[in-house]
Structure 1
Amino acid sequence: MTSSSVAMMTSFALLCLSIAIIECMAGILGNGIILAASSLSRTGSKTWPPYDMIVISLSSSRITLQCWIILDLFLTIFCEPSYFEENIFGFIKTGYMFLNCSSLWFGAWLSVFYCIKVASFTQSFFIWLKLRIARLVPWMLLTSWLCSFTTAIPFAWDVYSVHKNITAPSSMTNSSARTTTRNDSSGLLILLYNASVGMPLILSVASSVLLIRSLWIHARQMQNNASGFRDPSLEAHMKAIKSVCSLLIFYVTYYIAFTFLLFDLFLHFSTPKSICIAVMAACPTGHSIVLIWSNPKFRELPARIWQHINSSVRITSM
């Protein structure tokens, strides 16, 4: 670590960045389980169910994103002088923008898919979506990639001019200088940010609210019919709603932290910025844990691996 990094980074900020790296590693493991379980279940199959397509896209994008974040943090901490050169900084931030947007879009489509499959609305448009969701999912995912790519490319053109003051010595890098630079060149980034990140947020909130409403109506009907709450379909609905609600909570939290970082509101290596990075690293990891918990197929793979390890240990010890 360079002397300037040591001088600027507090012990608490360093702790937050270390926690972020650990959270990313845990997220890579969790999303790796989801990716492996979804891929193995489709081995030899010519068709992929829409849910598996969304989950595979989401988990693979998050694995890449979390690896990218770890690389970014290591370069920021240990290679600060060379990291803020135009080529390296632009490449890292552009790749991060693309992966971040695609991950958010895939998470939003997962919420939409839950809503369409689980909710029981009778409107003609909703029924049309329910009947055609399998054919729409590939186009939804392709659109997400294109939107993310469209967002990342202009960001690559502008990223250096937005952050060029960071290359100045730490004593000269103050908030007013960065604010002047940001005001001159962030108009396009604000528009792209609202389109690429705000739209998935709206989809997640809308689908979650609709799903909660549908589940509440279904529960009231069951209660009026004295059917109890042990119906397996209702239990499946409850797991789906918990997963969607957790995604929504993680999504909103991630959205807020990402907004602070994107508009460069905090000083480099400051405690608030390090906290935002740790929060952002925790959100995808937390949601992957919820997905594993709510899906028996995802829970089965770690159990089988653990059972295989125990069997191998017993055989070796005999």
Structure 2
Amino acid sequence: MTLYLYITAALIYGECTVGILLNGFIVATNFKNWRLPCDKILSCLATSRCLFLFYMMLLNVFFVFSPQLYRIPVFRSSVLMCTMLLSHTNFWLTTTLCVFYCVKITNYSHKFFTFLKTRISSLVHWFILASLLVSVASSLPCVWIADDGGQQNFTSSAAENTTFGKVMSKKETYNRLIMFLVGSFPPLLIFCVAIILLIHSLWVHIRHMGTGFGSPNLEVHFGAVKSMSLFLVLHVVYFVCMSVRQSPTNNTSWISVSSMVACIPPLLHSLYIIISTRKLKEELLKWFCGQ
């Protein structure tokens, strides 16, 4: 089992390193050429992902090399609060980005959509600030979750294969999961609604256009649907993996695998953003060509 943990830890370090480099590149490029409101959301999301991936690397060091730290309630509370804060921030910033694309691309005539479409650029800062505040508010209760109930089950033999569940009481583990779901489900729901509205707008547009499949506006719709569908799949994978990490499981393999897979969606989506965005792709090619 020790060899297995070392292998998964090495894979996690590799994924996190590549993800940090990709997201750092997005932040650096957007900072150098700051033009559109979506660049601000992307930069905040990329920064949040960099912090999350670095935190996952650090957490894995503790998990593999210093499992005895999880006997300390204060340490567990700190770890839980940081995990919730970074996860919820990623969820809300991701949802903010999707809502921005949905409002800018869809053609609904409802007053609320018209208001958002005309004000969305100026409201971006408030959306980002609200995302951060909601994430902090939903993470603060983690300070009071950790207890001493599970310490009596932590023995020297268990230290070799420690998991979060072995050093926490059942009440504490269920509270972790409930808090994660309560903080993560609302942005996931809004995310899904944004995609449904975008697909419905595309369908209405196709019906009005008839056979005009060469329309630039239609191509924008198709591109947005493809991008957001991929985004949704990666988002759901991330949500499931993080839920497994917070669930009351005593299986070290599940926690290691879920940690490894949870680092993949931020990496893949950041890579997709770079490839599908002309400014980022051109800048990346310049870096590789040494220009």
| TM-score of the pair, normalised by structure 2 | 0.88
Query: Considering only CA atoms, is the larger Rg found in Structure 1 or Structure 2?
Result: 1
Q: 1:303 aligns with which of 278, 285, 291?
A: 285
List aligned pairs for 1:126-275, cutoff 5 A: 126-161=113-148, 164=151, 167-171=154-158, 181-182=169-170, 184-185=171-172, 189-222=176-209, 224=210, 226-229=211-214, 231-267=215-251, 270-275=252-257
| CA shift for structure 1 position 202 | 0.3
Aligned equivalents of 1:290 and 1:238: distance in 2?
A: 16
Which of the residues 280, 284, 291 maps onto 2:262?
A: 280
- CA shift, 1:107, in A, is 0.5
Cα displacement string for residues 107-163 of structure 1 (whole angstroms, at most 9, x for unaligned residues): 011111111111111222211111121232222211111111112221122135586
Counterpart Cα distance in 1 of 2:61 and 2:168: 29
Match of 2:98 in 1: 111
Q: Is the 8 A contact 1:108 1:200 kept in 2?
A: yes
| Structure 2 counterparts to residues 54-73 of structure 1, below 5 A | 54-73=41-60
C-alpha displacement of 1:106: 0.2
For 2:46 and 2:162, locate their aligned partners in 1 and report how far apart those are by CA, in whole Å.
38
Shift of the 81–195 alpha-carbon distance from structure 1 to 2, 3 Å rule, reads closer
CA contact (8 A) 2:151 2:167 kept: no
* 2:102/2:195 contact within 8 Å kept: yes
Higher relative contact order (CA 8 A, sep 6+): 1
Identity among equivalent positions (%) equals: 26
Structure 1 residue 241: Cα displacement: 1.9
2: CA distance, partners of 1:278 / 1:198 = 22
Partners of 2:273 and 2:147 lie apart in 1 by 37
Matched, 1:294 2:281: no
Taking a change above 3 Å as real, the CA distance of residues 195 and 281 of structure 1, as seen in their structure-2 partners, is same
Find the counterpart in structure 1 of residue 81 from structure 2: 94
**Residue pair 1:211, 1:241 contacting (<8 A) in 2 also:** yes
The size of the alignment, in residue pairs, is 289
Matched, 1:28 2:20: yes
Normalised by the length of structure 1, the TM-score is 0.81
3-state SS of 2:249 partner: coil
Residue aligning to 1:314? none
Contact 1:85-1:167 at 8 Å conserved across structures: no
The reply to whether residue 9 of structure 1 matches residue 39 of structure 2 is no
Which consecutive residues of structure 1, in runs of 5 or more, have no partner in the other structure?
A: 1-7, 43-47, 312-318
Q: Secondary structure at the match of 1:159?
A: coil
User: Would you say the 8 A contact 1:10–1:271 is kept in 2?
Assistant: no
Give 1:273 deviation, angstroms.
1.7
SS of the counterpart of 1:32?
A: helix
Paired amino acid for 1:181: S
Structure 2: which 5+ residue stretches go unaligned? none
Whether the 8 Å contact between 2:26 and 2:46 is mirrored in structure 1 is yes
In structure 2, relative to structure 1, the CA distance for the partners of 1:302 and 1:152 (3 Å cut) is same
One-letter identity of the residue aligned with 1:262: Q
Contact 2:19 2:266 in 1 (8 A): yes
